[in-house]
Amino acid sequence: MNTRDAALAKVRELSHFIGGKHVRGESGRFGDVFNPTSGALAAKAPLASRPEVERAIAVAKEAFAGWSETSPLTRARVMFRFKELIERHMDELALLISNEHGKVLSDAKGSIQRGLEVVEFACGIPHLMKGEFSDNISAGMDLYSIRQPLGVCAGITPFNFPAMVPMWMFPVAVACGNTFILKPSEKDPSCPLRLAELMLEAGAPAGVLNVVNGDKEAVDALLSDARVAAVSFVGSTPIAKYVFATGSVNGKRVQALGGAKNHMVVMPDADIEVAAEALMGAAYGSAGERCMAVSVAVPVSERTADELIEAMTPRIRKLKIGPSTDDSSEMGPLVTREHRDKVRGYVDLGVKEGASLVVDGRGFKVAEQPNGFFLGGSLFDKVRPEMRIYKEEIFGPVLSVVRAKNFEEALALPSDHEYGNGVAIFTRNGDVARNFTHKVNCGMVGINVPIPVPLSFHSFGGWKHSIFGDMNQHGPEGVRFYTRIKTVTSRWREGVNPGANFGMPLMK
């Protein structure tokens, strides 16, 4: 056996997880799963055909009959056990993420923790699903509302958070009494499959949480099947538009979260050292592969801009970039060779567009991993709003600096941008911060906080082309998304015949 054949022999063939067991793919089509640090092919993920997805939907629909009638208290206890299992297997899950996505281990564990917080929120489902009651609205008549699950729900999740984003979806959906089909990214599906195993171990009946690997064929099957009641999506804006339009026209409730171009405004009174440190983590953490990454810095005044560039430049050049499982690494590789080349192409484009490339990360290499998907951090100065590197989501370790003359100009940049996901301002002036928060046209705002991701008991979501649909993820909005309200008007009066009433019913 030659070296190439020996390497291919080590490649794992992954599965789907349907009805509480691993199911081998039948389509004959597979997606490649790489180890981004080495660049080696690590696994093959089956890409489900429409009939395979339909079988998963049938299993989930059958499981819904019993699960929806299970008491909220029992469902909460499953979530408590699931929480304990996630904590127990934290290191294992983080390693799966690092090996397939390229996040450094500390970042992988942090992302799991943020997902775990939603599980903790879902543990309170007996309280969260309480309805409202109005006593004696008329003689002997009461009025009350209850929340009930929708049925089979689906989640379509991106490669950048293979644990966190799925856990922003299915724990709330399942705790509300729904069953769930997760279609994770085919680039890093091992962690989602492991989460499904742990849910089963936690006591969720077979068929309550299913994982189907796939591409557009699987997505279209979920969006068009009448048995799927709701779809939650996170990914790029073009696909979010497609998911929202296709799911909605097929009668589904849809929340589709798209792209972002998050700005961080740095006012003249800000502590430049603090702002620079915040930008380092926000722009280059997870190699910039975050929908909440800060990809645009907006220093107000030429002096502020010069000081910020001076503070950022040596920090970017000293970034510790290396294998994702190396504890000394601050940034790992990008998820695939194709994505790395796409991000590198944006740096090429920025140079052509006339931006000033202060730090060039295109030539970065890790000597011991020459085939890894590594890219160094890049920093552009004097970027203009008409440039594509400003308009488009790069999704990599590239920070653009757009200089603003004053507060009004800085406020207008994120407010007028196509995307409206997150934004931050660094200042010591409370009046400026409050004014910015009130006026900026974005969904999530950070004041001296570079990545303002809400905690699980609030809801996550942006504005404009960063979201399609009326309800955000997790928190109270998540409960509302995965349930529907039923209002009951009830009368119990023995021996009373009110007679026929042909007018509008009135309460007296």
Catalytic residue (one of 123, 191, 291, 442): 291
Q: Which CATH class is domain 8-258+466-487?
A: alpha beta
Residues 410 and 265: beta-carbon distance below 8 Å: yes
508 vs 492: CA distance, rounded Å: 15
Q: What is the pLDDT of residue 8?
A: 53
- Alpha-carbon gap, residue 221 to 183, rounded angstroms: 11
Helices (H), 400-451: 407-416, 430-439
pTM of the model: 0.95
Give the pLDDT of residue 347: 98
Cα separation, 6 vs 365, in Å, equals 26
Of 150, 247, 291, 157, nearest to 211 by C-alpha is 157
- Residue 348 burial (CB count, 10 A): 12
Q: Which residues are CB-neighbours of 271 under 8 A, at least 6 positions away?
A: 426, 428
What was the pLDDT predicted at 504?
Answer: 76
pLDDT tens for the chain, 508 residues long, are 444 444 555 899 999 999 999 999 999 999 999 999 999 999 999 999 999 999 999 999 999 999 999 999 999 999 999 999 999 999 999 999 999 999 999 999 999 999 999 999 999 999 999 999 999 998 889 999 999 999 999 999 999 999 999 999 999 999 999 999 999 999 999 999 999 999 999 999 999 999 999 999 999 999 999 999 999 999 999 999 999 999 999 999 999 999 999 999 999 999 999 999 999 999 999 999 999 999 999 999 999 999 999 999 999 999 999 999 999 999 999 999 999 999 999 999 999 999 999 999 999 999 999 999 999 999 999 999 999 999 999 999 999 999 999 999 999 999 999 999 999 999 999 999 999 999 999 999 999 999 999 999 999 999 999 999 989 999 999 999 999 999 999 998 776 677 777 777 776 6
d(CA 424, CA 402): 14
**CA pair distance 167, 157, nearest whole angstrom:** 10
pLDDT at 409: 98
Q: Which CATH class is domain 262-447?
A: alpha beta
Cα dihedral 198→203→209→212 (10° resolution): 50
Helical (H) or strand (E) element with 68: none
291 is catalytic: yes
pLDDT score of 500 = 78
Where are the strands (E) in 244-354, listed by range?
A: 253-257, 262-266, 294-299
* pLDDT computed for residue 176 by the predictor: 98
The SS3 assignment for 1 reads: coil
* Residue boundaries of the structural domains of the chain: 8-258+466-487, 262-447
pLDDT at position 364: 97
Q: What is the number of other CB atoms lying within 10 angstroms of the CB of residue 134?
A: 11
Query: Which pLDDT belongs to residue 495?
Result: 64
What's the CA angle centered on 184, arms 372 and 204, to 5 degrees?
130
Question: Which whole-number Å values give the CA distances from 244 to 174, 220, 251, in the listed order?
Answer: 22, 12, 11
Whether 213 and 48 have beta carbons less than 8 Å apart is answered as yes
Q: Is the Cα dihedral 469, 209, 286, 217 positive or negative?
A: negative
What pLDDT does residue 98 have? 98
DSSP assigned state of 386: T
Q: What is the DSSP letter of 259?
A: -
Tokens for 197, please give them.
Answer: 């195993």
| 156 phi and psi angles, rounded to 5 deg | -115, 115
Q: Would you say the C-alpha torsion 314, 316, 321, 324 has a positive or negative sign? A: positive
Cβ-contact 268, 191 below 8 angstroms: no
